[in-house]
Amino acid sequence: MSDMTSAPAAKLTLPDAQTVTAVTHWTDSLFSFRVSRPASLRFRSGEFVMIGLMGDNGKPLLRAYSIASPSWDEELEFYSIKVPDGPLTSKLQHIKVGDEIILRPKPVGTLVHDALLPGKRMWFLATGTGLAPFASLMRDPETYEKYEQVIMMHTCRTVAELEYGRRLVESLADDPLIGEMVAGKLLYYPTTTREEFHHMGRVTDNLSSGKVFADLGLPPMDPATDRAMVCGSLAFNVDVKAILEGFGLREGANSEPLEYVVEKAFVGDGV
Protein backbone atom coordinates (compact mmCIF):
# COMPACT_ATOMS: atom_id res chain seq x y z
CA MET A 1 0.00 0.00 0.00
CA SER A 2 1.38 3.36 -0.93
CA ASP A 3 2.06 6.01 1.69
CA MET A 4 -0.77 8.55 1.37
CA THR A 5 0.71 11.17 3.70
CA SER A 6 1.51 14.27 1.69
CA ALA A 7 5.16 15.14 1.15
CA PRO A 8 6.40 18.16 3.08
CA ALA A 9 6.20 21.42 1.14
CA ALA A 10 9.39 22.13 -0.84
CA LYS A 11 11.85 23.96 1.40
CA LEU A 12 12.53 27.27 -0.27
CA THR A 13 14.89 28.66 2.35
CA LEU A 14 18.53 28.60 1.20
CA PRO A 15 21.34 27.37 3.43
CA ASP A 16 22.71 30.36 5.41
CA ALA A 17 19.75 32.38 4.03
CA GLN A 18 19.18 35.99 5.03
CA THR A 19 16.20 38.09 4.00
CA VAL A 20 16.55 41.32 2.02
CA THR A 21 15.01 44.25 3.93
CA ALA A 22 15.89 47.22 1.67
CA VAL A 23 17.37 47.91 -1.78
CA THR A 24 18.50 51.29 -3.17
CA HIS A 25 19.76 51.79 -6.72
CA TRP A 26 22.21 54.70 -6.91
CA THR A 27 23.26 54.54 -10.58
CA ASP A 28 23.09 52.07 -13.49
CA SER A 29 26.14 50.38 -12.01
CA LEU A 30 25.79 50.79 -8.23
CA PHE A 31 23.25 49.70 -5.61
CA SER A 32 23.10 49.05 -1.90
CA PHE A 33 20.96 46.63 0.07
CA ARG A 34 20.27 45.54 3.61
CA VAL A 35 19.63 42.02 4.88
CA SER A 36 18.72 40.40 8.18
CA ARG A 37 21.71 39.61 10.40
CA PRO A 38 22.38 36.07 11.66
CA ALA A 39 22.01 36.15 15.44
CA SER A 40 25.40 34.46 15.84
CA LEU A 41 27.34 36.83 13.54
CA ARG A 42 29.97 38.93 15.29
CA PHE A 43 32.36 40.97 13.14
CA ARG A 44 34.82 43.84 13.39
CA SER A 45 33.85 46.93 11.37
CA GLY A 46 35.81 46.79 8.08
CA GLU A 47 35.66 43.01 7.60
CA PHE A 48 34.14 41.12 4.66
CA VAL A 49 32.03 37.98 4.25
CA MET A 50 31.03 35.71 1.37
CA ILE A 51 27.54 36.35 0.03
CA GLY A 52 25.63 35.21 -3.03
CA LEU A 53 22.72 33.43 -4.62
CA MET A 54 21.97 29.87 -5.63
CA GLY A 55 23.43 29.32 -9.10
CA ASP A 56 21.57 27.72 -12.02
CA ASN A 57 23.57 24.52 -11.37
CA GLY A 58 22.10 24.27 -7.87
CA LYS A 59 25.38 25.30 -6.22
CA PRO A 60 25.88 28.52 -4.26
CA LEU A 61 27.48 31.32 -6.31
CA LEU A 62 29.41 33.33 -3.73
CA ARG A 63 31.59 36.46 -3.83
CA ALA A 64 33.50 38.44 -1.19
CA TYR A 65 31.65 41.54 0.06
CA SER A 66 32.70 44.10 2.63
CA ILE A 67 30.07 44.65 5.29
CA ALA A 68 29.14 48.34 4.90
CA SER A 69 27.16 48.59 8.14
CA PRO A 70 28.86 49.01 11.51
CA SER A 71 29.25 46.10 13.93
CA TRP A 72 26.49 47.42 16.24
CA ASP A 73 23.77 47.52 13.54
CA GLU A 74 21.02 44.92 13.88
CA GLU A 75 20.96 44.42 10.10
CA LEU A 76 23.77 44.08 7.54
CA GLU A 77 24.30 46.52 4.66
CA PHE A 78 26.22 45.94 1.43
CA TYR A 79 27.24 48.34 -1.34
CA SER A 80 27.55 46.67 -4.71
CA ILE A 81 28.71 47.07 -8.25
CA LYS A 82 26.52 45.79 -11.11
CA VAL A 83 28.81 44.03 -13.60
CA PRO A 84 26.62 43.60 -16.74
CA ASP A 85 27.70 40.01 -17.43
CA GLY A 86 29.08 39.29 -13.97
CA PRO A 87 28.04 35.81 -12.81
CA LEU A 88 26.70 37.08 -9.47
CA THR A 89 25.86 40.75 -9.87
CA SER A 90 23.95 40.34 -13.16
CA LYS A 91 21.40 38.49 -10.93
CA LEU A 92 22.01 40.13 -7.55
CA GLN A 93 21.11 43.56 -8.93
CA HIS A 94 17.50 42.34 -9.32
CA ILE A 95 16.93 41.35 -5.65
CA LYS A 96 13.85 42.79 -3.97
CA VAL A 97 12.68 43.20 -0.37
CA GLY A 98 11.65 39.77 0.93
CA ASP A 99 14.05 37.82 -1.32
CA GLU A 100 16.75 35.64 0.24
CA ILE A 101 20.49 35.72 -0.29
CA ILE A 102 23.16 33.34 1.00
CA LEU A 103 25.52 34.74 3.63
CA ARG A 104 28.36 32.68 5.08
CA PRO A 105 28.84 34.05 8.61
CA LYS A 106 32.65 33.93 8.65
CA PRO A 107 33.95 37.52 8.63
CA VAL A 108 37.62 38.18 7.82
CA GLY A 109 39.79 41.06 6.62
CA THR A 110 42.69 43.41 7.25
CA LEU A 111 40.86 46.77 7.32
CA VAL A 112 40.39 46.62 11.08
CA HIS A 113 41.58 48.86 13.89
CA ASP A 114 43.45 45.92 15.46
CA ALA A 115 45.88 45.83 12.50
CA LEU A 116 47.19 49.37 13.16
CA LEU A 117 49.29 50.92 15.91
CA PRO A 118 47.64 53.78 17.83
CA GLY A 119 47.79 57.15 16.04
CA LYS A 120 46.24 60.62 15.90
CA ARG A 121 44.93 60.84 12.34
CA MET A 122 43.22 58.11 10.28
CA TRP A 123 43.09 58.22 6.47
CA PHE A 124 40.44 56.13 4.68
CA LEU A 125 41.46 55.95 0.97
CA ALA A 126 39.01 54.41 -1.50
CA THR A 127 37.83 54.27 -5.08
CA GLY A 128 34.41 53.05 -6.24
CA THR A 129 32.88 50.30 -4.09
CA GLY A 130 36.11 50.34 -2.06
CA LEU A 131 34.13 52.78 0.09
CA ALA A 132 32.14 49.87 1.59
CA PRO A 133 34.46 48.91 4.49
CA PHE A 134 34.77 52.60 5.39
CA ALA A 135 30.98 52.97 5.34
CA SER A 136 31.19 50.54 8.25
CA LEU A 137 34.22 52.10 9.98
CA MET A 138 32.88 55.68 9.61
CA ARG A 139 29.79 54.59 11.58
CA ASP A 140 31.77 52.88 14.35
CA PRO A 141 32.29 54.84 17.61
CA GLU A 142 35.68 53.12 18.05
CA THR A 143 37.00 55.07 15.04
CA TYR A 144 36.37 58.38 16.82
CA GLU A 145 37.53 57.11 20.20
CA LYS A 146 40.87 56.07 18.69
CA TYR A 147 41.60 59.06 16.43
CA GLU A 148 41.50 62.85 16.75
CA GLN A 149 40.82 63.27 13.04
CA VAL A 150 39.43 60.93 10.37
CA ILE A 151 39.81 61.79 6.68
CA MET A 152 37.66 60.00 4.08
CA MET A 153 39.09 60.34 0.56
CA HIS A 154 36.82 58.74 -2.06
CA THR A 155 37.27 59.00 -5.81
CA CYS A 156 34.82 57.99 -8.54
CA ARG A 157 34.46 58.93 -12.19
CA THR A 158 31.20 60.84 -11.77
CA VAL A 159 29.34 62.84 -9.11
CA ALA A 160 26.45 60.33 -9.11
CA GLU A 161 28.87 57.55 -8.17
CA LEU A 162 29.81 59.49 -5.02
CA GLU A 163 26.19 59.83 -3.84
CA TYR A 164 25.99 56.77 -1.54
CA GLY A 165 29.05 57.97 0.36
CA ARG A 166 27.91 61.60 0.42
CA ARG A 167 24.52 60.70 1.91
CA LEU A 168 26.13 58.42 4.44
CA VAL A 169 28.57 61.09 5.64
CA GLU A 170 25.76 63.65 5.75
CA SER A 171 23.61 61.31 7.88
CA LEU A 172 26.34 60.92 10.52
CA ALA A 173 25.75 64.41 11.93
CA ASP A 174 22.20 63.42 12.98
CA ASP A 175 23.14 59.92 14.14
CA PRO A 176 22.06 59.57 17.79
CA LEU A 177 24.89 57.17 18.57
CA ILE A 178 27.88 58.93 17.02
CA GLY A 179 26.67 62.35 15.81
CA GLU A 180 28.47 64.24 18.57
CA MET A 181 31.65 62.16 18.25
CA VAL A 182 31.87 62.79 14.50
CA ALA A 183 31.36 66.57 14.64
CA GLY A 184 34.55 68.34 13.61
CA LYS A 185 36.53 65.08 13.51
CA LEU A 186 35.50 63.63 10.16
CA LEU A 187 36.89 65.40 7.09
CA TYR A 188 35.24 64.20 3.87
CA TYR A 189 37.21 64.67 0.63
CA PRO A 190 35.29 63.25 -2.35
CA THR A 191 36.73 63.75 -5.84
CA THR A 192 35.80 62.91 -9.42
CA THR A 193 38.04 62.04 -12.34
CA ARG A 194 35.69 62.47 -15.31
CA GLU A 195 33.02 65.00 -14.33
CA GLU A 196 33.39 68.61 -13.20
CA PHE A 197 33.20 68.82 -9.38
CA HIS A 198 34.50 71.16 -6.67
CA HIS A 199 37.34 68.73 -5.96
CA MET A 200 38.76 66.64 -8.74
CA GLY A 201 41.61 64.21 -9.31
CA ARG A 202 42.80 60.83 -8.19
CA VAL A 203 43.50 60.03 -4.53
CA THR A 204 47.09 59.27 -5.57
CA ASP A 205 47.61 62.63 -7.32
CA ASN A 206 45.99 64.61 -4.49
CA LEU A 207 48.26 62.89 -1.96
CA SER A 208 51.51 63.11 -3.91
CA SER A 209 50.98 66.73 -5.01
CA GLY A 210 50.10 67.71 -1.43
CA LYS A 211 46.79 69.24 -2.62
CA VAL A 212 44.64 67.37 -0.08
CA PHE A 213 46.87 68.52 2.81
CA ALA A 214 46.68 72.14 1.63
CA ASP A 215 42.90 71.96 1.05
CA LEU A 216 42.21 70.48 4.50
CA GLY A 217 44.87 72.46 6.37
CA LEU A 218 46.70 69.32 7.50
CA PRO A 219 50.42 68.55 7.69
CA PRO A 220 51.83 65.87 5.34
CA MET A 221 51.53 62.28 6.57
CA ASP A 222 53.93 61.32 9.32
CA PRO A 223 54.41 57.73 10.57
CA ALA A 224 54.40 59.02 14.16
CA THR A 225 50.82 60.32 13.88
CA ASP A 226 49.12 59.12 10.69
CA ARG A 227 47.46 55.79 9.96
CA ALA A 228 45.82 54.70 6.71
CA MET A 229 43.45 52.07 5.34
CA VAL A 230 43.33 51.53 1.57
CA CYS A 231 40.63 49.82 -0.53
CA GLY A 232 40.48 49.99 -4.32
CA SER A 233 41.50 48.17 -7.50
CA LEU A 234 44.80 46.32 -7.53
CA ALA A 235 46.46 49.15 -9.51
CA PHE A 236 45.10 51.78 -7.08
CA ASN A 237 46.32 49.82 -4.08
CA VAL A 238 49.82 49.42 -5.56
CA ASP A 239 50.09 53.16 -6.32
CA VAL A 240 48.78 54.26 -2.91
CA LYS A 241 51.09 51.84 -1.10
CA ALA A 242 54.09 53.42 -2.83
CA ILE A 243 52.95 56.89 -1.75
CA LEU A 244 52.33 55.83 1.86
CA GLU A 245 55.72 54.12 2.00
CA GLY A 246 57.19 57.38 0.67
CA PHE A 247 55.79 59.12 3.76
CA GLY A 248 57.47 56.44 5.90
CA LEU A 249 54.35 54.39 6.75
CA ARG A 250 54.74 50.59 6.84
CA GLU A 251 52.12 47.95 5.95
CA GLY A 252 50.62 46.19 8.96
CA ALA A 253 48.46 43.11 9.47
CA ASN A 254 46.28 41.55 12.15
CA SER A 255 49.37 39.61 13.29
CA GLU A 256 51.69 42.65 13.16
CA PRO A 257 50.00 46.05 13.60
CA LEU A 258 51.89 48.92 11.88
CA GLU A 259 50.90 52.17 10.13
CA TYR A 260 48.72 51.20 7.16
CA VAL A 261 46.64 48.29 5.82
CA VAL A 262 45.31 47.41 2.37
CA GLU A 263 42.47 45.31 0.95
CA LYS A 264 41.41 44.70 -2.65
CA ALA A 265 37.96 46.12 -3.49
CA PHE A 266 37.67 43.42 -6.17
CA VAL A 267 39.78 40.92 -8.08
CA GLY A 268 40.54 41.67 -11.75
CA ASP A 269 41.33 44.74 -13.80
CA GLY A 270 37.90 46.33 -13.38
CA VAL A 271 37.14 49.92 -14.31
Q: Which is nearer to ligand FAD, 81 or 187 (CB)?
A: 81
Distance CA 23, CA 26 (A): 10
| Distance in Å, CB of 92 to ligand FAD, minimum | 7
Q: Please say whether the beta carbons of 154 and 258 come within 8 A.
A: no
Q: Which is nearer to ligand FAD, 51 or 151 (CB)?
A: 51
Q: Which is nearer to ligand FAD, 187 or 231 (CB)?
A: 231
What is the three-class DSSP state of 92? Answer: helix
Q: What is the DSSP string of 235-265?
A: HHHHHHHHHHHHTT--B-BTTB-BSEEEEES
Distance CA 197, CA 161 (A): 12
Distance CA 267, CA 264 (A): 7
Task: State the burial class of residue 10 (Cβ atoms within 10 Å of its Cβ: 0-12, 13-18, 19+).
Answer: exposed
Q: Which is nearer to ligand FAD, 54 or 218 (CB)?
A: 54
| Interface residues toward ligand FAD, by CB under 6 A | 48, 63-66, 79-81, 83, 86-90, 128-129, 132, 263-271
| Distance in Å, CB of 48 to ligand FAD, minimum | 4
| Distance in Å, CB of 271 to ligand FAD, minimum | 5
| CA dihedral angle for residue 125, residue 127, residue 133, residue 135, rounded to 10 degrees | 90
Q: In the sheet where 60-66 sits, what is the strand order?
A: 60-66, 48-54, 100-108, 17-27, 30-36, 75-81
Q: Which is nearer to ligand FAD, 124 or 266 (CB)?
A: 266
CA nearest to 157, candidates 201, 124, 187, 215: 201
Q: Which is nearer to ligand FAD, 209 or 254 (CB)?
A: 254
| Distance in Å, CB of 67 to ligand FAD, minimum | 8
| Distance in Å, CB of 258 to ligand FAD, minimum | 20
Q: Which is nearer to ligand FAD, 88 or 207 (CB)?
A: 88
| Distance in Å, CB of 193 to ligand FAD, minimum | 14
Q: Please say whether the beta carbons of 67 and 47 come within 8 A.
A: yes
| Distance in Å, CB of 42 to ligand FAD, minimum | 19
